[in-house]
């Protein structure tokens, strides 16, 4: 087996391939069968985001956790509320990071 035999076999294979098929009405037929594109519905996503944000806001509005945690964190006092707040922020940052990495991988 040498390079010229290799090339000869490949050349033979290429000549055996007929190449692109002529259209002869194929595209027209496919276009006639093409359905309407379904538009992606986005309102459930945005509805969910708004409902979630609203529920968070309502839950935290009457809870001292956020205010106390923020004040403790600002004064450098690591109370349970400050730690909870920090962990929640860290968790959200990690989720956003993971989402960003996944989106970048898909592109």
If the CB atoms of residues 15 and 75 are measured against other proteins, the closer one turns out to be: 15
> 81: exposed, middle or buried (C-beta count within 10 Å: 0-12, 13-18, 19+)?
buried
**Of the residues 3, 20, 41, 62, which one makes contact with other proteins according to CB under 8 A:** 20
- DSSP state letters, the chain: --HHHHHHHHHHHHHHS--SPP-TTHHHHHHHHPPPPPPPP-HHHHHHHHHHHHHHHHHHHT-SHHHHHHHHHHTT---HHHHHHHHHHHHHHHHHHHHHHHHHHH-
Q: Looking at 2-10, 65-73, 76-84, 85-93, which segment touches other proteins (CB under 8 A)? A: 2-10
Q: Which of residues 28-47 bind other proteins (CB under 8 A)?
A: 29-31, 33-35, 37, 40
Neighbour tally for 82: CB within 10 Å: 20
Q: Which is nearer to other proteins, 1 or 61 (CB)?
A: 1
Q: Which stretch binds other proteins (CB under 8 A): 8-16, 56-64, 70-78, 94-102?
A: 8-16
Q: Which of 3, 12, 41, 46 binds other proteins (CB under 8 A)?
A: 12
Give residues in contact with other proteins (CB under 8 A).
1, 5-6, 8-10, 12-23, 26-27, 29-31, 33-35, 37, 40, 106-107
């Amino acid at each position: 087996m040498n390079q010229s035999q290799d090339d000869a076999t490949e050349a033979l294979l290429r000549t055996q391939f007929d190449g692109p098929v002529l259209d002869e009405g194929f595209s027209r037929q496919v276009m006639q069968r093409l359905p309407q594109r379904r538009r992606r519905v986005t309102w459930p996503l945005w509805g969910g985001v708004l409902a979630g944000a609203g529920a968070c806001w309502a839950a935290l509005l009457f809870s001292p956790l956020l205010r106390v945690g923020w004040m403790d964190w600002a004064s450098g006092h690591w109370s349970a509320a400050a730690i909870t707040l920090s962990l929640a922020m860290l968790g959200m940052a990690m989720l956003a990071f993971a989402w960003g990495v996944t989106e970048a991988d898909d592109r």
